[in-house]
Amino acid sequence: MNLSQIVKRTLFLLVFLSLSAQAQTATIQWGTSYQTIDGFGAAMTEWNNPFSAAELDFFCSPTSGIGLSLLRVEVNGSGSYPNVASMQGCASRGASVWAMSLSPPASMKTNGSTICSTNGSTIGYLASSSYPAFATYLSNLITTFKNNGVNLYGISPQNEPDYCPGLNGTYAYDGAIWTGADFQSFIESNLGPTMAANGQSGVKIIFPESATWLAQSYESGTPGYSALSSPCMSDAGCANYVGVTAWHDYDDASVISNPYSLSHFWETEDSDPNNPYDSSMEDALTWANLIQSRMAQANATAWHWWVIQFVGATSNEGLEDPSGFSLSNLPKRTYAIGNFSKFIRPGWVRISATLSPQSGVTVSAYKDSSSGQFAIVAINQNGSSVAQEFVLNAFSPATVTPWITSANLSLAEEPSVAAGGSFTYTLPAESVTTFVGVAGTAGPDAPADLKATLTTH
């Protein structure tokens, strides 16, 4: 396990333990609902290879694979984007496709380049005089996707507006710096009205996609999620155009909560770019813990890994082996993400569950009110198996079926166990287990979209 994994796992374990009195029972409350889930996703970039049918089935189908329900596609500053057939294939298997812009075109930038910093000091911004032209550019992009058979769920005008690729000796690629005031002016006076005039109000504007939740210490003055989003979101004229507020999770912030009444609150990118490829179960637990925290504590409505394909890379950034796609050598984290994405579908809601019923175990739960289907995700970080009791309040399924990712199992369906009002199951060492079933007798729902703020000391 590398240092960043140790930090992540320790951070989230301490947070979980601080919220629990260490009761041994995990109680699931059917009638207490929180946020409505939009889905789980990952990105496809313009430099990716077209997805094969086997890749599409595995990544995008909830019946044949892990069922990612959100596909984030990258549009670079030249206007190029990933393979359309791959987008169509993923959408036909149940995923929603949304696009993010890496940079405005060079002609609209203050430095005349799609690269954020071309010489280590000159920073590229969207020129204010180009706001109308860039709004039209993004609107035309939505139309282009539609004409190619891809109806975008949403569009993000700028990827990581608080990070300048190429500045301070970092690797240079397409990017631009924005301020919160820039977003407010651009969305309220340009992008929102342009999309509305072109009949695109159903396409969600997604912003600010900050590189981190907090301000980045390594780039002085970089504002983070709150400073980038608050000028627009505190102005009704701007906020009314926004469909999703979003952030990237590269700073592992311990306290995250949705500061706005907007019900779509997304984490849209995370990975491990600073460490070598790691396919282990220890790595998988790092990411499973993070997802559990963001869904059960931050009330996120969507969570995204960075990129599906990272062929030839040596860093820990893809959901496939760097040598390419094969079901025989996928990293364990891909299956652990599937413990959430395969079962917790768009429109499901998170329900109350004892977050940390015993040392090293965390639990979250979700339901589909219309069908009575539910999923309970239990993570055992311990190096040995533990017996965990689950008490089901106001629902009584006849059985639950465990699906397990561990050192020896990869999202494997195990024999169903009798449930009723409660059941006990031995969670394997270092494992992620999703229990799925259909509620028997279910009580009424409490109001949805309750919010909670986590405070640690």
Same domain, 20 and 49: no
Q: What angle do CA 338, 153, 125 make, to 5 degrees?
A: 105
Instruction: Provide the pLDDT for residue 311.
Output: 85
Report d(CA 414, CA 378) in Å as an integer: 15
Report the pLDDT averaged over residues 439-443.
Answer: 71
Q: What angle do CA 81, 320, 80 make, to 5 degrees?
A: 5
Instruction: Provide the pLDDT for residue 114.
Output: 97
24 lies in some domain: yes
Report the pLDDT averaged over residues 86-112.
Answer: 98
How many CB atoms are closer than 10 A to CB 211? 23
Same domain, 56 and 190: yes
256 lies in some domain: yes
CATH of the domain at 88: 3.20.20.80
452 lies in some domain: no
Report d(CA 420, CA 400) in Å as an integer: 9
Same domain, 290 and 400: no
Our count of domains for the chain comes to 2
Given 327, 347, 367, the domain boundary residue is 347
Residue 306 near residue 271, CB atoms below 8 Å: yes
Report the pLDDT averaged over residues 437-449.
Answer: 65
220 lies in some domain: yes
Instruction: Provide the pLDDT for residue 13.
Output: 54
Same domain, 395 and 279: no
CATH of the domain at 388: 2.60.40.1180
In a 10 Å sphere around its CB, with 0-12 CB exposed, 13-18 middle and 19+ buried, how is residue 217 labelled? exposed
Given 311, 331, 347, the domain boundary residue is 347
Query: What is the pLDDT confidence band of residue 403, given thresholds at 50, 70 and 90?
Result: very high
Same domain, 227 and 324: yes
Cβ contacts of 429 within 8 Å, gap of 6 or more: 380, 382, 383, 384, 385, 406, 407
395 lies in some domain: yes
Per-residue model confidence as pLDDT tens digits over 30-53 = 999 999 999 999 999 999 999 999
**Model pTM score:** 0.92
Residue 112 near residue 104, CB atoms below 8 Å: no
Instruction: Provide the pLDDT for residue 453.
Output: 39
Same domain, 326 and 360: no
Report d(CA 420, CA 392) in Å as an integer: 8
Residue 11 near residue 287, CB atoms below 8 Å: no
164 lies in some domain: yes
Per-residue model confidence as pLDDT tens digits over 102-148 = 999 999 999 999 999 977 778 999 999 999 999 999 999 999 999 99
416 lies in some domain: yes
Same domain, 369 and 220: no
**Amino acid symbol at 335:** Y
Report d(CA 80, CA 78) in Å as an integer: 6
Same domain, 406 and 303: no
Q: Pick from 260, 259, 320, 267: which is nearest to 290 by CA?
A: 267
Kindly state the tokens that stand for 169. 């000796």
Query: What is the pLDDT confidence band of residue 376, given thresholds at 50, 70 and 90?
Result: very high
Same domain, 277 and 355: no
Domain containing 406 equals 3-33+350-438
Write the DSSP assignment of 381-438 as a string of letters. -SSS-EEEEEEEES---SEEEEEEESSS-SSEE---EE-TTEEEEEEPSSEEEEEEEE
Q: Pick from 197, 219, 198, 185: which is nearest to 207 by CA?
A: 185
The secondary element (H helix, E strand) that includes residue 393 is strand 386-393
Per-residue model confidence as pLDDT tens digits over 349-366 = 999 999 999 999 999 999
Per-residue model confidence as pLDDT tens digits over 289-320 = 999 999 999 999 999 999 999 988 889 999 99
Same domain, 181 and 265: yes
DSSP secondary structure code for residue 52 in this structure: P
Given 322, 347, 372, the domain boundary residue is 347
457 lies in some domain: no
Same domain, 340 and 356: no
Same domain, 199 and 335: yes
Report the pLDDT averaged over residues 367-395.
Answer: 98
Instruction: Provide the pLDDT for residue 219.
Output: 59
Kindly state the tokens that stand for 155. 């569009």
pLDDT higher than threshold 90 for residue 199:
yes
Instruction: Provide the pLDDT for residue 14.
Output: 54
Average pLDDT value over all residues in the chain = 92
